[in-house]
Amino acid sequence: MSPGMEKRPHLDIQLCAPRGFCAGVDRAIQIVELALQKYGAPVYVRHAIVHNKYVVEGLKAKGAIFVEELDEIPDTEAPVVFSAHGVPKSVPADAKSRNMFFLDATCPLVSKVHVEAQRHFDAGHEIVLIGHAGHPEVIGTMGQLPPGAVTLIETVADANTFTPKNPETLAFVTQTTLSVDDTREIVVALRARFPSINSPHKEDICYATTNRQEAIKAVAPYVDAMIVVGSPHSSNSQRLVEVALRSGCRVATLVDRASEIDWSVYGNITSLGVSAGASAPESLVEEVIDAFAARYQVTVQTRTTAEEHIAFNIPKVLRDLATASGRD
């Protein structure tokens, strides 16, 4: 029997749903694509529009130019798009001072956190931000307010050693892409020390982050291994791997795409869970499944834990194009 005809081992793939693109990511990508369609190339984008190099490379091929800071952009009438993660207030102020035409692709759920932080600041509250240092969303949220107005808390240990100026005027907000369980532990620690701390009116961790983590929890304990499609720079994707391991899955890895799969990790498995971070396109999930199908006799079942029907409006200046293309 030739090597290609050898009997492949059976593999049961459990496909987590929801997975992949969220409404905020979808909106951000649409803004860049529609701006290219309406104004032509180039369209400048400050920071990776979403944390996925496959998406970024695709937009580059269409004429998008990615920069880290506005000072890298020459004087131009071309549109400048701010990424889905949000930006400090200094960025649009700088853009206005240079008469730039800018489009803000900040996820509306991140903008909600910005509004909350401003509201607490205006009320005289001392603000704690639960999040990861250096993440663009954290930089953007802290940059809504004057330096020193927001204290970053990353861990329960931070929560237990933090000393506020006045425990009675304390409030917290959170990054939208955190581990739900980790954040809950930090909030419990803060509330134990500061019972009067002001909470968000509504959960700051976004629906997509929560739903993808819950889908992982429903699959991870029952499979031999899990693979999450997503970028190593993607906070929500990293959290999915952590949730899988905590939920009892022995092996869980993060890959950008199928070519990065470490096959030595996936030895004698008979079941596999597959998910994707909020900035990973479905085409990359299909690519991963195809890679396993080349080595195993696969059956694929979808495990659905929630339905998502959320869509966010795009800026008015692009809405006519979106309507015409049926994307609004």
pLDDT, tens digit, 9 for 90 and up, residues 227-281: 999 999 999 999 999 999 999 999 999 999 999 999 999 988 999 999 999 999 9
Residues 6 or more apart whose CB falls under 8 angstroms from that of 2 comprise: none
- Report the run of H or E that residue 64 belongs to, with start and end: strand 64-67
CATH 3.40.1010.20 residue ranges for the chain: 7-21+207-304, 109-193
Q: 10 Å Cβ neighbour count for 193?
A: 16
With cut-offs at 50, 70 and 90, classify the pLDDT of residue 320: confident
* CATH class of the domain defined by 109-193: alpha beta
- Told to judge if 137 belongs to the known catalytic residues of this protein, a careful annotator would answer yes
Where along the chain do the CATH 3.40.50.11270 domains lie? 23-107
Judging by beta carbons within 10 Å of its beta carbon (0-12, 13-18, 19+), is residue 97 exposed, middle or buried? exposed
Q: In the CATH scheme, what is the code of domain 7-21+207-304?
A: 3.40.1010.20
* Calpha distance 12→190 (Å, rounded): 43
pLDDT band at 26, cuts 50/70/90?
Answer: very high
pTM confidence score: 0.92
Residue tagged active-site, from 137, 168, 214, 286 = 137
Spatial separation of the C-alpha atoms in residues 16 and 266, rounded to whole Å: 18
Percent of the chain's residues with pLDDT above 90:
91
CATH of 23-107, one of 3.90.1150.10, 3.40.50.11270, 3.60.10.10, 3.40.50.300: 3.40.50.11270
CA 214 to each of CA 14, 38, 211, 304: distance values in angstroms, whole numbers, following the listed order: 14, 39, 5, 10
β-pair partners for 226: 252, 273
Residues 6+ apart with CB under 8 A from 116: 173, 200, 201, 204
Whether pLDDT at 64 is above 50: yes
Q: Average pLDDT over the chain, rounded to whole? A: 94
Structural tokens at position 20? 């992949």
